[in-house]
């Protein structure tokens, strides 16, 4: 019998698929520091972002045949070492794309209408009329320009929402020249597809009113957005990072906000998690969320189903 450890949990729908296929599923979490001594009996491990599947963990599990990442990124798995040992590495790149894209707009709406500030001040004794005057200069999204860096699955879902809101989209992706968006669910053009032609990073930075990033990032790499990039942008721009911590240089982001080179930022991911930087967490012009981009009920169900089907396919062909 194939035995699987779902160390960071799995949606009931996904667990049912595995068990219906005759697999044994263990959802009892093994602490990270104990993993190297307790994986001998498992044929596969499924993780989310919490568990690290390092070289040492892989080497301690001689029976391991598959590693499943219930999510998009693989930065918590030593993919190269796993593949050198003939272990299949599986992820779910489609399942949470819409959830992340919607969180991007949650941050955009929050910053556009000062919701993070007005919510707090109304609850802590702020005078109603004064707050109404203070927060009466929000902006609308229609006819504004959304800049997207990284036009993969999440970037495309974000573009669809933007187009549905009447925004213009300008995008940069060194791997992509153009994409054809399936717009069947939106009645905004006479045809079912919308074409986005990519341009240079510099043009995106110069033109955008809002900027969102959807790119991979390896620890130790240079940040994709830093001081020189902020200097190219409008001083009214709102920057959103629901991608990877480190993609945006946090200290230089704070400096750009303080120097009014940019207006606001929304962050779901951070250079170090859990984040404790008081200059970031306490900044009036930053909206924060605790790395929840793909964490919706619907996304977790899709992720669980997709990873389960792929695991079954791997073992049963």
Q: What are the catalytic residues?
A: 244, 273, 291
* 3-class DSSP assignment, residue 79: helix
Burial class of residue 253, CB neighbours in 10 A (0-12, 13-18, 19+): buried
Query: Quick one: tokens of 82?
Result: 């796993």
3 state SS of 122: helix
Q: Left if phi > 0, otherwise alpha if psi is -120 to 50, otherwise beta: which for 246?
A: left
Contact 90, 307 (CB under 8 A): yes
3-state secondary structure of 40: coil
| Helix (H) and strand (E) counts in the chain | 12, 13
The residue with tokens 């012009």 is 285
Distance between CA 146 and CA 180 in Å, rounded?
Answer: 17
Measured distance CA(33)–CA(136) in Å, rounded: 51
Sign of CA dihedral 258, 260, 264, 268: negative
Q: Which two tokens stand for residue 227?
A: 């001081």
């Amino acid at each position: 019998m194939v035995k699987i450890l779902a160390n960071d949990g799995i949606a009931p729908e996904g667990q049912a698929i595995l068990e219906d296929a005759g697999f044994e599923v263990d959802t009892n979490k093994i602490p990270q520091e104990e993993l190297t001594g307790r994986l001998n009996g498992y044929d596969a491990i499924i993780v989310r972002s919490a568990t690290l599947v390092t070289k040492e963990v892989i080497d301690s599990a001689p029976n391991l045949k598959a590693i499943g990442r219930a999510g998009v990124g693989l930065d918590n798995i030593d993919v190269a070492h796993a593949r050198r040992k003939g272990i299949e590495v599986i992820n779910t790149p489609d399942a949470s794309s819409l959830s992340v894209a919607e969180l991007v707009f949650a941050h955009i709406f929050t910053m556009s209408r000062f919701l993070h500030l007005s919510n707090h001040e109304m609850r802590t004794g702020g005078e109603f009329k004064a707050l109404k005057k203070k927060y009466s200069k929000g902006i609308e999204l229609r006819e504004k320009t959304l800049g997207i860096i990284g036009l993969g699955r999440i970037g495309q879902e974000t573009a669809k929402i933007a187009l549905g809101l009447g925004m213009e989209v300008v995008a940069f992706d060194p791997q992509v020249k153009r994409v054809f968006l399936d717009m069947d669910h939106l009645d905004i053009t006479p045809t079912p597809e919308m074409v986005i032609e990519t341009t240079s990073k510099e043009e995106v930075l110069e033109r955008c009113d809002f900027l969102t990033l959807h790119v991979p990032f390896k620890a130790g790499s240079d940040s994709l957005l830093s001081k020189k990039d902020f200097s190219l942008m409008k001083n009214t721009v709102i920057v959103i990072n629901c991608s990877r911590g480190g993609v945006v240089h946090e200290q230089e982001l704070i400096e750009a906000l303080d120097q009014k080179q940019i207006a606001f930022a929304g962050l779901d991911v951070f250079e170090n998690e859990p984040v404790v930087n008081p200059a970031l967490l306490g900044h009036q012009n930053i909206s924060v969320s605790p790395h929840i981009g793909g964490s919706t009920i619907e996304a977790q169900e899709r992720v669980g189903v997709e990873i389960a089907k792929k695991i079954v396919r791997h073992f049963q062909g």
